[in-house]
Structure 1
C-alpha cells in the first residue's frame, strides 16, 4: 500500500504525461474542437516544475506533435492546425524560459548559501572532537531560519593553563548578533593562552567587547547590551573542572546517571555591561570530574524553551532520562528533547557543548 507521503511525491511527476494524454483524448473525443488545447499547452510548463530543462523541452515537443496530430486526424483546416501548434509552442517556450530563469536563480541561491554558511562557520568553527582527556560534542540551532549561527557562541582549546572552554549568549538573536560573537570568540582564543586565571580571562573578554562596542556605537551593526558567558578550565589530568559564571545559565554535571546543576554561589555580572571589568572578588568554583563524567554547557535557548502551555524545559530531566554516556549522543538527545518540547518552534538560538572525560 502506498502511503500518503509517497503519493504526494509521485503526483507532480505524473501530472505532465496525464495532461498530454488528456489533451489528446479531449481533442479526439470532445464534442467541440480545441477542448484539449489548454491541456497540451500547459504540459511543458507543468513539467518544468518537477523535471529537468531537457525533459521539459521533450514534453513541449510532444505536446506540439500531439496538437498537430490530433488536428490532422480530426480533419481541421491547415490554418487551424497551424494555430493549434503555434499556441502550444508559444506557451511551451514561455514555460521553458521560466524554467531556465528559476534554475539559474536556484543555482545562484545555492552558491550564496554555501558562501554564507562558510563565512558563518569561520566566525564560529566547529570544536575538535577530542581535547586532552575529553571528548567534545556540539550542537547549534539558530533561531533565524537559513542561518548557521546566531547570537550564541562557544569555543574550546588547550592552553598552558589547561583546557579552557567558553559558552556565551549575546543579547538578541539572529544575524545582527554575529558581530559580537566574532569579537568574543576571537578575544577568547587569544586571551585564553595568556590570562593566568579565569577571572583575568573574563576581564580581557570584557575589555575587548567594550572596545569593539565603542568603535561601532553609531553603525548599523552596533554591539549593544551584554554577553552572558560561562568560562571553564580543566587541568590536563581531567580530574577537576573550574567554573566562572558571568550571568550565564549554569552547567550540568552528569555523574553515574545523576544530573547536578552547578549553580554559582556568587554569580558575577555579564560581560560588556558598560560598567567595565568586574570589580567583585573573583569566584572560580572547582568541582570533581570523575572518569566517564560529562559536563553539559547550554545557552538559554535550552533552559528557557517552553512548550505550548508555557512550561519551561526541565534540563536535568531531559539529560537524566537518556541513559547515554557518549558526548555526541548526549548533545543530540538534548537538542531533540528540546525540539520536541517546543513542538519544533525555533524560539531562540540554542547551543549545546558537551565535555566528557574518558574512562
Structure 2
C-alpha cells in the first residue's frame, strides 16, 4: 500500500505514533552508548541516522527538532569528553549538521510529492463521483446500497461499474465490468453507463436496454484502430424492479449471476441463457429476460468478479453463496460491509481485482 498523507506538513497518516518515536529512540540510544563506552568509541552514526529517519516520518517542525537535538546531543558528548576543540570533533559535528540540513530538504521533497498525490486523489475522487454517483438510499419500498473498492488503494477507480436509475418502467440497475485498467477502463465504463442510462429511460423492455447498450458499444469499437478493438470487452447484469411488484427481472450479459437472499437462504440467480456485451464478430441472438420472485424481505446482491475470483492463500476462490448462507441480511449497507470484510478475511489482505457491489432490498 502506498504512503497516505493526512494533509499536515509531511506527516504520513498511516504511520503509527510509536513508529514516529523512532528518531528520538535512536538519539537516546546514541547518548547511552556514548556515556557507557570508552572514549575512543563514538555514536556519531546514531546522531546522523536520527534526522534521516525523521524526514519521512515527521512533519517539517518534527524533522527540524530532531536535527537540532542530534546536533545538541553530539555537542554535549564532545564537550563532556573534551573533544569539541579537536579537528575530529569539529568534523564530526559539521557532518551531523550537514545531515540535519539534508534531512529537512528530503522532508520538503516528500511533502511536495504528497501534495501532488493529494491533488491527484482529489481529481480521482471527483471522477469517481461523476462516473459512479452514490445511488439513492431508498426508492419506494426498496432500500439500496453500493460500494466500490479498488484493488490498488492509490487508484480508487477502475473498470468496474454500477448504476441505479428510476425509470417509468421501474427501478433499473446495472453492475458490470469492462476489460482493462486505468483511464482506458474508465472510458469504457463511462460509455457502458451512459448507454445504460439513456436506454433505461427510453426502452420499455429490459432486453431492449441490453440491445441498445450492445449497439452503442459496437459503434464505439468501430471507430477504434484494429489493434484496440479486442480490448473493448464488457460483462454486465441488468436488473429491473417493477414498482409495486414482487418480482425482479434480470438480463445477464456474461456476468457472475446475482444472489437472492431471503430468510438466511442464499441462491444464485442463474440465467436461463447468458447474453453477450462484446465486440464485433461475437454475440448475436436474442437477449433473454429471466424473472425471479422478489417478495418483501428479499435482497438482490450484485457484484463483479473481484468478489467471486478472490483467492485465499491456498488458491481457493471465494464462494459468496456458502459464506453468506445463514447470515442475517440486515440492511443493504450492512450486508455489503459484512461481505467485504469476509472477502478480506478470505484473502488475508487486499484483493487482486476491483470490486463493485450493489444490494437492493424490498422492505416488508
Classify the TM-score, shorter chain.
Answer: 0.7 to 0.9
- Where does residue 132 of structure 1 map in the other structure? 140
In the TM superposition, what whole-angstrom CA distance separates every residue of 1:294-328 from its partner, at most 9, and x where no partner exists? 11112223333343444433322222221223111
Structure 1 stretch displaced more, 156-165 or 114-123: 114-123
Deviation at 1:48, TM superposition (A): 2.6
Secondary structure at the residue paired with 2:278?
coil
Greater Rg over alpha carbons, structure: 1
Taking the TM superposition and a 5 Å limit, the aligned residue runs for 1:153-192 are 153-172=161-180, 176-192=184-200
Instruction: Give CA-to-partner distance per residue, 1:51-70, whole Å, 9 cap, x none.
Output: 22112212222332333333
Deviation of residue 208 (structure 1)? Answer: 0.9
Provide the rounded CA distance (Å) in 2 between the counterparts of 1:179 and 1:318: 34
Distance 1:214 1:357, change over 3 A: same
Quote how far apart the aligned CAs of 1:358 are.
1.5
The equivalent of 1:273 in structure 2 is 279
**1:91 correspondence with 2:96:** no
Question: Is residue 103 from structure 1 mapped to residue 108 from structure 2 by the alignment?
Answer: no
Aligned residue in 2 for 1:230 = 237
Residues 117 and 147 of structure 1 are in contact (CA less than 8 Å); yes or no, is this contact kept in structure 2?
no
- Give the alignment's Cα RMSD to 1 decimal: 2.7
**Which residue of structure 2 lines up, in the alignment, with residue 348 of structure 1?**
353
Say which of 45, 63, 79 aligns to 1:56: 63
- Partner of 1:38 in structure 2? 45
Other-structure match for 1:302 = 307
TM-aligned CA distance change 1:174 to 1:337, over 3 Å: farther
Structure 1: which 5+ residue stretches go unaligned? 1-7
Return the TM-score normalized by structure 2.
0.85
1:315 corresponds, among 313, 316, 320, to: 320
Q: Deviations over 1:18-40 (max 9, x none)?
A: 43344445555643357133323
1:242-291 per-position Cα deviation (integer Å, ceiling 9, x unaligned):
112222222222233222322222332x11331487432x4322222211
C-alpha displacement of 1:210:
0.9
Q: 2:254 aligns with which of 226, 247, 254?
A: 247
Structure 2 Cα separation of the partners of residues 304 and 25 of structure 1: 54
Asked if 1:120 corresponds to 2:128, the answer is yes
Pair 1:338 & 2:343 matched? yes
Quick one: distance in 2 between partners of 1:285 and 1:72? 86
Q: Which residue of 2 aligns with 1:146?
A: 154
Structure-2 separation of matches of 1:339 and 1:77: 57
In structure 2, distance between residues paired with 1:241 and 1:65:
73
Q: Distance in 2 between matches of 1:340 and 1:19?
A: 36
Structure 1 residues 41 and 114, CA gap change in structure 2 (3 angstroms): same
| Structure-1 separation of matches of 2:19 and 2:149 | 32
Q: Which stretch shifts more, 231-240 or 342-351? A: 342-351
- Which is further off, 237-246 or 21-30? 21-30
Cα deviations across residues 164-215 of structure 1 (Å, max 9, x unaligned)? 1112222345654222111000111111110121111111101111111122
**Does 23-32 or 237-246 show the bigger shift?**
23-32
Structure 2: unaligned runs, 5 residues or longer:
1-14
TM-score (norm 1): 0.86
Deviation, 1:230, is 1.4
CA distance in 2, matches of 1:17, 1:325: 48
